[in-house]
Amino acid sequence: MLIPFRRALLTAIRKHNCRLFSDSTVTSSTRKGLVLGVYEQQSDSDGVSLTEAAAAFDRSLSGRLSEMLSLSGPPLKKGKSRIFYGLHQDFPSVVVVGLGKSDPGVCGKENWDNCKENIRAAVSAGCRQLQDLEVALVEVDPCGDDQSAAEGAVLGLFEYDELKTKKKVHVKTRPHGSVDAAAWQKGVLYGDGQNLARQLMEAPANHVTPTVFANTIEQKLSLFADRVIVHKRPQSWIEGEQMGAFLSVSKGSEEPPVFLELHYKGSSDSAQPPLVLVGKGITFDSGGISLKPSSGMDAMRADMGGAATVCSAIVTAAALKIPINIIGLAPLCENMPSGKANKPGDVVRAKNGKTIQIDNTDAEGRLILADALCYAHSFKPRAIINAATLTGAMDVALGSAATGVFTNSDWLWERLHKASVVTGDRVWRMPLFQHYTKQVTDSALADLNNVGKYSRSGGACTAAAFLKEFVSANHWAHLDIAGVMTNKDEVPYLRKGMSGRPTRTLVEFIAGLASDV
């Protein structure tokens, strides 16, 4: 004898001549799908609370969708999904995703907008479910926030499988129902920007050398040649600029270094001081003579994450035509052990004349950034922001919850923090005390030491203090992104692998800065 719930469910299915499955038995011939949103019920007595697009779809079916949702199981919670087949002739597969509460807004404790994050996560889950069913075209419910929905779709579907014979089905997405086309497209570009950074970071180091990295960014920016100039500075130029710290790192590798310099002219006011973005570009980090453990060393193909996020943010800013002038700087090289490599105890001279004792060749990112930061000041910038997968200590401190920000400017911090609340890709302010500066200026042989006197204590802070010795600008921020370099399962709308964070936060910051001009 069937229990009442089961009997009612089967009756509804027969009545509407549709099929309901909870597994993935659909064939690959099913090519079109739909993702719709449903809000969490406030109480057991409430009915199904659909989004505007889902409600319109439900009306077109004379209420079948809401009826099936009620019959097919308990109310959908945030992040959960349910798939229906055969409900609509145009959409053989329909995934309904749980959005949580209808309007939770910004959460002060979490420092992000819960609604936006819920939408990104839910849309991502729905799109992936359809991709797993080899559905090639997916229409997406904007869920009340077109940009966040587009970001969730684009970010959620990305997977680096370029070198695999068997690849996932390429899914095209488009909005369903009433849509703000400009907001949707903005979300697509934000997602594409982060995916570009993920692609660069994920690719093997023998496929993305300094030269290949520079060529890839040049190719991406060729679409905007009317407002972007790309300089790929060779070793001879680097030597002429007396970037001794950068050259000391690169000399251990057979791959030649490249100093990538990008000029985005988004403002018609040529006198507008530029924002300068600097990214650490170590395309593979073995640690040099201070060799890293072999376990996990393969992930050091992504030690150019700072350069990847900075350059991808500029590509996105150009695609969005953000009216601001930006200069991007990316010192690119490998850190390898060889007869020419830096040795512990060596002393090198940076572009500004300061000498640096290298007691750990695995603290190389700060060396190449030192010269790049010196060069950044020549553009008389409005502000300087550098991003780098700089220290394992930052991962220990914050994990993958947020990017650590060290800054000498409250003005800059407030704008970065505001941008991160919008994107959900959070930042957290860290200290720049003199306490840490003393630890890097106490050196036996030179002006500075590339590691703090107490190497295991406050490593992220002493690294930032080191960089500060090469900064005179009033508005400077150092983003240590080592903790957010990879994603396991922390960010639900990103698959496992390199994260490309915080590209969207940088783009949102740039857009906000442009609106202040």
CA dist., res. 146 & res. 77, Å (int): 21
| Side chain identity at residue 239, one-letter code | E
Is 18's pLDDT higher than 70? no
The string over 78-110, giving b where at least 16 C-beta atoms fall within 10 Å of a residue's C-beta and e elsewhere, is bebbbbbbbbbeebbbbbbbbbbeeebeeeeee
Task: Give me 404's structure tokens.
Answer: 């650590």
* 325 and 275 Cβ atoms separated by less than 8 Å: yes
Active site residues: 292, 366
pLDDT at 126 over 60: yes
Residue 16 confidence (pLDDT): 41
- Write out pLDDT tens, residues 293-349: 999 999 999 999 999 999 999 999 999 999 999 999 999 999 999 999 999 999 999
Tally of residues, the chain: 517
Domains, the chain, in order of start with CATH, read 8-179 (3.40.220.10), 208-295+302-516 (3.40.630.10)
pLDDT at 504 exceeding the cut of 70: yes
pLDDT of residue 57 exceeding 60: yes
More confident residue, 45 or 434: 434
* Band (43; pLDDT cuts 50, 70, 90): low
Average pLDDT, the chain: 93
Mean pLDDT, rounded, for 387-396: 98
pTM of the prediction? 0.94
Position 27, amino acid: T
Q: Which of 77-81, 238-242, 291-295 has the lowest mean pLDDT?
A: 77-81
Which residues have CB under 8 Å from 308's CB, separation 6+?
196, 197, 200, 201, 213, 279, 302, 500, 503
Whether 24 and 3 have beta carbons less than 8 Å apart is answered as no
Please give the order of strands across the beta sheet that includes 346-349: 346-349, 355-358, 448-449
- The torsion of the CA quartet 118, 120, 121, 126, rounded to 10 degrees, works out to 120
Residue 8 pLDDT more than 70? no
Between CA 128 and CA 120 the distance in angstroms is 12
